[in-house]
Amino acid sequence: MKAKLFSALRIVLFFAIGAVLFWLVIRNQNLDEIKSKLQAANWWWAVGALAFGFLSNIFRAMRWNMLIHPLGFKPKVRNTFGGVMIGYMANLAIPRLGEVMRCAIVNRYEKVPVNKLLGTVVVERVIDVLTIFVLLLVVVLLEFEKMSDFSMQYVFSPMGRKLQAFISHSVLFYVVIVAAFAGGLFLFWFLYTRFRRTRYFIKLKYIIRGFLTGLKSVGQLKNRNLFLFYTFLIWLLYLMMSYICFFCFPATSHLGFVIALAVMVFGGFGWAAPVQGGFGTFHIIVTQTLVLFGVAENDGLAYAILSHATQIFAMLFFGLIILILLPIVNRHYKPLQEN
C-alpha cells in the first residue's frame, strides 16, 4: 500500500514540476499568436520527422542486439525494437520506467534475464551520454562566442557565486564533505554486516552479477565498427528530426544544421530531465536555444511545442500499436540461444 502511494505521489510530483515549468514558459507569451503559428505551420515536415525518428529507433534496436549477442542470446530485431518503443511510451508515465520496461518486454519474448539486459541498457546510456557531450563540444566550438556568453551569463557565473559563497564558510564545507564520506562508509558497512546472509542479499548479489555481465558485453562486441556506425546513424537521424522541423515555420526555415545540432543537444538535456516526457523542460531549453540564435521567443516556443508534440505522438502511437502486435507476431516464436 505504501509503495503504491509513493509511486502515485512520485508521478503526480513529476507531472506537477513539468506543468509548472511549462506555465513559466507560456505565462508571458501571446497564446493566440502561438496558436495561429501552429495552425499555419506546415505539419507535413513533422511527418518527415516522425519517419526519421522511427528509423533511428530501428537502428537503436539493432545496436542493442549487438550488446545482447555476447550474452549468448539472439533476439529478433522486432522484439528489441518493440522493447525500445514501449519503453519510450512508459517514460511518459514515470521517468526512467522505460529502461526497465524495455528489458521486461525482451525478457518476455526472448527469455534474456532482466538483470543482464539492464547492464546492456546502462552501456547504451553511457555511450549516449558520451556522444551528446562530444556533440555539445562540437556546438561550443562552432558557435564559441554565442555559447561562451550564454554559459557565463546563465550557468557558470550563477554557479560560481553560489560555490564561492559556500566555500567561503570553509569549516562548514570540509565538515560536510567528511561527514558525507564517513556516513556513506558506515551505511555500507552496516547494511553489509546486517543483511549479507539473508536471501534478499543473496538475490541482490545475483542481480548485480548479471548486471555486471551485461556491462561487460561492450568489451565482447564482434564488430565494433558496425556498432559505431549504428551510433552515428542514430544521432544523424536525431539531427535530421530537429532540422526538418525548421521548415514547418517561416521564422525558422532559414536555420541551418549547426543550429539544428544545438537544438538537438540542448533539447536532449530537456528530455533527460526527471519529468514525464521532458514536459516543460524541453520547451524552456529549446525555446531559449533558438532565442540565442536570433529567433523571436514566440517563434521558438511554437517550434518547441510542435517538435515536442510530434515526438510524444510518435511514442504513444507506435508504442500502443507495437504493444498490441508483439503478442500476435510472437505467438509461435521460440527464442534462440547461441551455441
pLDDT in tens, 286-306: 998 999 899 998 999 999 999
| Residue-wise pLDDT tens digits, 7-38 | 566 666 666 666 676 676 666 767 788 889 88
pLDDT at 169 over 60: no
pLDDT at 224: 86
Q: Is residue 192 in a domain?
A: no
pLDDT at 282: 87
Average pLDDT, the chain: 82
C-alpha cell at 245: 522541423
Beta bridge partners of 337: 73
pLDDT at 191 over 70: no
**What is the span of the domain harbouring residue 237?**
30-157+198-329
Q: Is residue 306 in a domain?
A: yes
Closest CA to 210 of 273, 275, 117: 117
Letter string b/e over residues 83-121, b meaning 16 or more CB atoms within 10 A of that residue's CB: bbbbbbbbbbebbebbbbbbbbbbbbbbebbbbbbbbbb
Q: Is residue 89 in a domain?
A: yes
What confidence category does residue 258 fall into, taking pLDDT thresholds of 50, 70 and 90? very high
pLDDT at 48 over 70: yes
Residue with more model confidence, 238 or 165: 238
Q: Is residue 269 in a domain?
A: yes
pLDDT at 13: 66
What confidence category does residue 56 fall into, taking pLDDT thresholds of 50, 70 and 90? very high
DSSP state of 152: I
pLDDT at 50 over 90: yes
Residue with more model confidence, 259 or 209: 259
Q: Is residue 112 in a domain?
A: yes
Number of structural domains the chain divides into: 1
Mean pLDDT of 177-205: 68
Distance of CA 51 to the CA centre of its chain: 19
Total residue count of the chain as it appears in this document:
339
Mean pLDDT of 225-232: 94
Q: Is residue 133 in a domain?
A: yes
| Furthest C-alpha separation in the chain | 67
Q: Is residue 52 in a domain?
A: yes
pLDDT at 248: 95
| Residue-wise pLDDT tens digits, 304-327 | 999 999 999 999 999 999 999 999
Q: Is residue 240 in a domain?
A: yes
What confidence category does residue 221 fall into, taking pLDDT thresholds of 50, 70 and 90? confident
